[in-house]
Structure 1
Amino acid sequence: MLARFISSFSEQARQAGITCLQYYVEQVEEQRLQVYEQELERLQLADVTLVYVEGEYKGQLGSTFIENPDPELFAEHIANIKQMAECNNTSFTPLPFHRVSEPLAQTDDLPTSLLVEKLKAAEQAAYAQDQRVKHVSECSFLSKKKRILLLDDQGNRMEDCLQYYRVGMGVVAQAGQQVQTARLAKLARNINELDMTGLAEAAAGRALSMLNAAPVETGNYPVIFHNQVVCQLLLTFLPAFFADRVQNSMSRMGGQLGQQVANAKLSLVEDPDFDLGIITRRFDDEGSPTSKKAIIADGILKSYLHNRRTAEKAGVVSTGNGFKRDYTEKPTISPTNLYLRQGTSTLADLQKEMGTGLLITECDGMFAGANPVSGDFSLISKGYLIDGGEVVRPVAQITVAGNFFELLKQVSSIGCDYDSTGSENGFVTAPSLLIPSLAVAGE
């Protein structure tokens, strides 16, 4: 069906004076499930094919996007391409087709009925943790398979795919008038790596452990950022390493290639084949090959992330980071799988090394309270007071403030306790980090 559509559309477009047609195609299968109070509250299935078409008309680039391949709509889409070309001042650039290995085989999902039973069991497990668990606000599952094809009207073709699963659990615990919430999520390429019941129990445990939390006195404290918080910080400030931000003077990393930008213990790597990652792409949405690369190696800034446009401007080769956030849009810059190289210390080791300080397990308002350009952040946080290397009590209603780029230089110890977060627009794996001193506003 797809081949017939491309052949027919290409022929009709050529008759209208459009040449050099090329196609970006997404074929997406998605399943979403939500259980609430032992009932299946949501079952959503999707199976769609989405097409973005580019072509050359009168020497300029034109484009359109197609959700419905009905031949009766071809004339409208062709008119869109011509109109875009006439309004554009952009020359057509052909995709760099090249040979790629076969994409990873996609696996079959578990039966929906079994997934629903697993979610129900997870919800029950959360309530079974303690009578103070009053509400399970989220008990959800997502499976997604995406097939990506780049094709042209000359028979060139490249195919890639990705597949991942997500489980989300949200729990509300209450003791007297105090209410605490916890929300945890896990993503993985293999459904067997997702322990729904274990995640529900962990979310319940987190919420329960935060009951009776109180602020600490305002001051500077040694701080351990828990792995999930480190992941969120990296996702928030990652655009500083995007070449377009650097070229537009919107990054502290501008002019820093080859310079020390972090503690020598820190290395930040992008790897589309990373075992814990979900973005297993062999080429980006512009056809450029992806590859493993160090962004920071032993504290030294080694590379920015480029798409074809920024690479051409810088006189370098694209790093394979030109990805679409939506099939209707032009590719921007985003990563595949990123990981901060882990150390050798367990979380308990980090706590003992810190002695007295704060373990920060949650930061809210990451996007409102963080400036990716300057690196400054001021984040409402939760966690635990540590004394003598042991947890003393839960802490809430505090704000931690600092500068991300300075924080990279100040890291004193790195954990081995990997955790991950993100989406298909960028996936990050990181351990916990010990920071010798950070400003904390409390009571």
Structure 2
Amino acid sequence: MEDALNKAIRTMQEEGAEFCDARYEDRWGLIISVSNRELRNLSTNRIAGVGLRARIGGSWGSSSGGRFDPESLREMARKAVRAAKLGDSPGAPIPEQPAYTGKFQMKMRVPPANVPVEEKLAMVKDLDEAQHISDRIVNTNAIYSEGKRTTVLVNSFGSRLRWEDGRLRMNAIAVARENGRMESYREGIAGSKGMELIQQRDLSEMGVSAAREAIVQLGAVKPPSGRITCITDPEISGLLAHEVMGHASEADEVVKRRSFLTDKIGQVVADEQITMVDDGTLEGGYGTLLFDDEGTPASRTVVIKNGVYNSYLHDLETGASMGVPSTGNGRHEDFGRRVWVRMTNTFFEAGDWKLEEMLEDVKFGVLTDKFVNGMEDPVGGSFEAKAHRGFLIENGKITKPLRAMTLTGKALDILHTTDAVGDKVSMDPGTCGKGTEDHVPVSSGGPYCRSQIIIGGD
């Protein structure tokens, strides 16, 4: 395949491309789901193809397809260059980049391919069964998914790369009902690791926990409202890092001046306890990469350092526009999609506070637990999220569970009012789109953080 891609590169150069790259991808996935002791889904999927890009001046041209014979690739190469010539976008040329070569593989102690599907199905069934702890549990779900990707990439700078990466995920979701009221709770594990990630977890305990917490939530009360001292859990902290600060740090929004963080480099944007990073090298992270989809090695980017805004996230194009190197954040959903600046594993770093110490100082407040959804606002910098549940804090003690609640406020106001940052970081896996499309695997997280946030109940 590398020889065929090299020929496509030569064709694009002969046709006038100033920079070009070619990538082959082969993606394979498995999903198993069991609900209420019944197998609902056991299926695999596979997609493979080639994507070519050519750049002339500030304009890109691209083409993609699933045929790999020489003539098909030549025509794809010519099509990409023709499309680039039709464009008139202003922009800096891509400067010379280091050439990376070699074969690489993500480290997994127990590759999922080495574990029979029958064993995986048995684990999913056990996770579903573990949730049946009470007649108040009316619905149980256990879901396992895994994915593997092989990428071959060559470009006009001389890079010749082949790498394999993958990730897996397992979730338990229990629903409880009593007196006409229904509540749910989820537990899960995920990461760019092998089956050792799941084998090290007590799946029975995970299923029981999901069911037990769903039952606890049946007794939850309406949350207070107003501007309140709020201790955000790692999921909600991560939502703030990802949805608002992270998307606004993607440099394609910055160069268009559609980010509230435009021109913020070197300015104080948060309390000095706040440091935020995007780390594509994080061991086991759901958004961890070997290389981004432009062949740039994954890296760790400090976005905020001790409250001071430090760096944007870049791909080759935005790096060229702003005169800085790519940070390894050029990503796409698959070979047929456009490369955008995208996050990887985005989180606030740990501070010095124990959760117990953070609670002790709160006379009246809220502790959140897990998110339902959040809204990105890179232009205005507003934070809006829905927490799955929470707990009321009174005189330094947790007193009662709370129903789902909304959290709102300006992101920078929240970060400036942060007066305590927890000493442990947890990460939450997911997928992130550019708007509503082009989803890629990511994770977000952080420690418990204590701030002033506007709370509202359903």
Residue range with higher mean Cα deviation, 118-127 or 313-322: 313-322
Distance 1:58 1:429, change over 3 A: closer
Partner of 2:183, secondary structure, is: strand
Cα separation, 1, equivalents of 2:313 and 2:448? 25
Asked whether the 8 Å contact 2:159–2:295 carries over to 1, the reply is no
Partner of 2:455: 440
Alignment of 1:35-184 (within 5 A): 35-55=34-54, 62-69=61-68, 73=72, 77=76, 80-81=79-80, 83-89=82-88, 96=97, 98-99=99-100, 102-105=103-106, 107=108, 108-109=111-112, 110-128=115-133, 130-136=134-140, 138-152=141-155, 156-184=159-187
Cα separation, 2, equivalents of 1:384 and 1:303? 35
Q: What do the CA deviations read for 1:209-251 (whole angstroms, capped 9, x no partner)?
A: 2113221443332111111111222221111112222222222
Distance 1:59 1:328, change over 3 A: same
Partner of 2:205: 198
- 1:29 lines up with 2:28 in the alignment: yes
Partner of 1:173, secondary structure, is: strand
- 1:429 lines up with 2:437 in the alignment: no
Superposition deviation, residue 391 in structure 1: 2.5
Superposition deviation, residue 79 in structure 1: 6.2
TM-score, normalized by length of structure 1? 0.87
Cα separation, 2, equivalents of 1:217 and 1:153? 59
Q: What do the CA deviations read for 1:292-336 (whole angstroms, capped 9, x no partner)?
A: 231111111111111222222212222222222332233211123
The one-letter code sitting in structure 1 at the alignment partner of 2:260 is R
TM-score, normalized by length of structure 2? 0.84
Aligned length: 436
Asked whether the 8 Å contact 2:176–2:183 carries over to 1, the reply is yes
The one-letter code sitting in structure 2 at the alignment partner of 1:145 is K
Distance 1:354 1:141, change over 3 A: same
Distance 1:94 1:161, change over 3 A: farther
Asked whether the 8 Å contact 1:23–1:53 carries over to 2, the reply is yes
Q: Unmatched 5+ residue regions in structure 2? A: 432-439
Cα separation, 1, equivalents of 2:219 and 2:264? 45
Which of 375, 386, 391 in structure 1 is aligned with 2:381? Answer: 375
Asked whether the 8 Å contact 1:163–1:278 carries over to 2, the reply is no
Asked whether the 8 Å contact 2:142–2:172 carries over to 1, the reply is yes
Distance 1:231 1:186, change over 3 A: farther
Q: Give % identity.
A: 21
Partner of 1:343, secondary structure, is: coil
Partner of 1:411: 418
Asked whether the 8 Å contact 1:357–1:386 carries over to 2, the reply is yes
Cα root mean square deviation, aligned: 3.2
Which of 237, 245, 248 in structure 2 is aligned with 1:230? Answer: 237
Residue range with higher mean Cα deviation, 113-122 or 92-101: 92-101
Residue range with higher mean Cα deviation, 139-148 or 317-326: 317-326
Q: What do the CA deviations read for 1:400-421 (whole angstroms, capped 9, x no partner)?
A: 3211221111111112342212
Q: What do the CA deviations read for 1:319-359 (whole angstroms, capped 9, x no partner)?
A: 22222233223321112323321123333332223243111
Alignment of 1:169-318 (within 5 A): 169-190=172-193, 191-194=195-198, 195=201, 196-237=203-244, 238-318=246-326
The one-letter code sitting in structure 1 at the alignment partner of 2:83 is M
Cα separation, 2, equivalents of 1:276 and 1:6? 31
Distance 1:242 1:415, change over 3 A: same
Cα separation, 2, equivalents of 1:186 and 1:239? 25
- 1:394 lines up with 2:401 in the alignment: yes
The one-letter code sitting in structure 2 at the alignment partner of 1:224 is I
Q: Unmatched 5+ residue regions in structure 1? A: none
